[in-house]
Structure 1
């Protein structure tokens, strides 16, 4: 039972491999994907309270890992539902696309359970290389070859981030003589102030900064978001970031004893991410590029919870990244619906959306209001708690800079909302979502509102989750 969710995902990959050998309608492939990920989610929920160790203690199953697995698979299920029949993917490789999607999700769920350096590396690479293949699978019928450039950039930056991470891991092994995180914590207790420990910890964190799209490992974001298909971008924007936060929490706990040095690194990365992301997003015309730059800024906000080195701060980061995933999914649901052929969506293409599709307009507005940090949505509640937590630790300057960035972000998010609700369609066609897409829209709206209005339930779960690894 401990490895049941992973087995379900592995089985899903085998099923899609079987489908790739024949010729099946796109609807059949999509419905199979929905069933497979639903079963995987059910298996994860069934094992939520299980605990144990596998593979010679390199793999931990506990409430922490299972909670993150459930979030990863749930977010993936939403992506599968609202991307319909993969219109942005080449028709001949849609079954293969789901093979790599399943393998990437498998790598992510293995990553959050890995507590040994080599296991972390293998899981991270499994999740990453699958996405490297997914990016160039975009259909070329729109006359664009951008997906090839995006795939190459994603691969090259990923390999560079992996190199940094492996170099840092080699330092940790050299300093401690072990690759198990629990043993590393014990053996580093006497040498936390050594420069080698700080350098090693920072280099290891770089690998997860890449997944989270955090400065300075962010350079791939705009081109990959624009060049990849809408389906792939939706996945990249939401799902890997959940796993990245899980691993950042594990490693920040590992490096917490080195004190000010790691805090200073995280603070600098947070501030630069927020300013770079928000200022760059101001001038974007492509909606996916705008969301990409805003994602860099939100990654900076996530760090506000980590620098507290407290379970409450970690729980708040978990709460915020969960809310962020749902906000992003709401925006990408609209992108996939308004661009049904898989083309990129310019911000001006959202003109008059409130008359073309009221439900999509509301979904987009809720998602953008939440991203902007406007009450009563989860984005406001999450940012407020992150800022309060940082203020309690006397990071006043950091809180002021984060508040300034919130004000900057409100401008470009509300500019899109204004275009959506305060303009006429100007001859643009109505948008009709299918039944599953409409259900997904309603669910995302409810989740974003409920998490923002009554956060206590979710925070209690998050805090219970953190206690299992503290």
Structure 2
């Protein structure tokens, strides 16, 4: 029972908000406190169930150290999102209970996903998480006259269905080749087949579906429009929490022997390079902060691929360390976005002008998170990239290391441009400039005036900064721990 506590908490939380949605919307304070309480309880129970092991539902659901690690990370990221998005400024007031319900269902799907070791269970869990997210995007408030959330929602579900079709077709291949949907039975069956091309085709198609969740090239094309069209709270969730589930799923499937390790390594290397260059070069010309972070996410997904292409426990451990650090850094960025955005509007880079005077703590949080994303020492972003590049070089991929280093240099420009806006630009000048722009670009206007920060959000932001620094100070221990956990499923 303890092993399933996080899932049970989220299930009952979703049911509670479903019942609430049938009646008049509750007081915003009551709804906010309820969501924070459920998220906090989910995180606490995930930590409590950390050492549990169990096999449930005829072996389709496995609670082990690997899955519990990701449940702790997912529940932590969810808690932070709920805290900095507690006011739901970008969501229509009458449907906030429904919004919270779908958010809980998406997290529940991710919790189920990381413990699923059977193809049908994986598919159902992935779709539960995905379809709840598809519904969150168009729920954005349109009081600013923006309707981009509708276009974003349509694109998100159409592209998602396409990726799901590829993944499901690959799963059907695996079932047809092995006669089983259980990963524990598929592994020895694939090993006995040697190097049959059908196995490779099946694995590549399945990986394509997983690449969509992680926003890896060439399954990245949905990212900028969905990031821009969704509310700030929703984008903060999409940019962080589902990526943890995607990495967990990728690691489980990369441990499957295919008979083509060299091809898979080359495939992941090519995908990594394309993701890094496309994401970084596209981010250079963006003015919307969320679009910049969207393209940045594509680039960072390429770095995660560098860990996976080693096809070994150490590389998988590095991938876990990297994605955990990336999630913490991104959460800090979106915390600032949600606080600076007064009414849930999108922010342009000019909207950050004068932030160091309006709210110094937010400026510090933004600067630390952006420095970390850029890979500046001694923060987690630098240590994660350094360890990944070192490991990749030891595997003999010198060209990949050089290309990744070039991309790190490119990324510094657009990250530091946001820091520059926050610390050197004048807020009044930014407002005048925004008034001269067209309506789309002026959506992020309104940079002037003091910003109020409640104690809980302030404490959360400071905690994220401390976590960024601590993770950067203890990379070897964290990577070794993650590698040992991965060993348990190989």
Q: Same fold (TM over 0.5)?
A: yes
- 1:342 alignment partner, SS class: coil
Instruction: Give the Cα–Cα distance (whole angstroms) in 2 for the partners of residues 120 and 287 of structure 1.
Output: 33
1: CA distance, partners of 2:333 / 2:73: 18
- Count the aligned residue pairs: 470
Give 1:256 shift.
Answer: 5.6
User: What is residue 469 of structure 1 aligned with on the other side?
Assistant: 489
Give the CA deviation at 1:261: 1.5
The equivalent of 2:479 in structure 1 is 459
Q: CA offsets per residue over residues 201-242 of structure 1, 9 Å max, x none?
A: 010011110100001111100000000000000000000000
Residue 195 of structure 2 contacts residue 258 of structure 2 at CA under 8 Å; is this kept in 1?
no
Counterpart position of 1:445: 465
Among 338, 350, 353, the alignment partner of 1:351 is 353
1:247 aligns to 2:267 (yes or no)? no
Tell me the equivalent position of 1:94. Answer: 96
Aligned partner of 1:276 in structure 2 is 278
How large is the RMSD of aligned CA atoms in angstroms? 1.0
Distance 1:192 1:90, change over 3 A: farther
State the Cα distance separating 1:198 from its structure 2 match: 1.2
**Residue 259 of structure 1: aligned partner:** 261
TM-superposition CA deviations, 1:232-270 (whole Å, max 9, x none): 000000000000000000111114642112112111111
Return the alpha-carbon distance in structure 1 between the equivalents of residues 469 and 264 of structure 2: 35
TM-superposed CA distance for 1:389, in Å, is: 0.7
Go from structure 1 to structure 2 and tell me whether the alpha carbon gap of 1:54 and 1:156 turns closer, same or farther (over 3 Å shift).
same
Correspondence for 2:440: none
Instruction: Say yes or no: does 1:38 pair with 2:40.
Output: yes
**Is the contact between residue 201 and residue 255 of structure 1 (CA under 8 Å) also seen in structure 2?**
no
Pick from 69, 72, 75 the counterpart of residue 71 of structure 2.
Answer: 69
For residues 10-409 of structure 1, the aligned pairs below 5 Å read: 10-22=11-23, 23-255=25-257, 257-409=259-411
Distance (Å, rounded) in 1 between the aligned partners of 2:219 and 2:209: 8
- Which consecutive residues of structure 2, in runs of 5 or more, have no partner in the other structure? 430-447
Alignment check: 8 A CA contact 1:255 1:262 kept: no
Q: Find the aligned partners of 1:123 and 1:291 in 2 and give their Cα distance.
A: 27
Deviation at 1:192, TM superposition (A): 4.0
CA distance in 2: counterparts of 1:450 and 1:406, whole angstroms:
22
How far residue 424 of structure 1 moved from its aligned partner, in angstroms, is 2.4
Q: Distance in 1 between matches of 2:486 and 2:30?
A: 40
Match of residue 436 from structure 1: 456
Q: Deviations over 1:1-34 (max 9, x none)?
A: 2222111110110111122233311121111011
Q: TM-score, normalised by structure 2?
A: 0.94
Q: What TM-score do you get using the length of structure 1 for normalisation?
A: 0.98
Does the 8 Å contact 2:152/2:230 carry over to 1?
Answer: yes
- Moved beyond 6 Å, runs of 4+: none
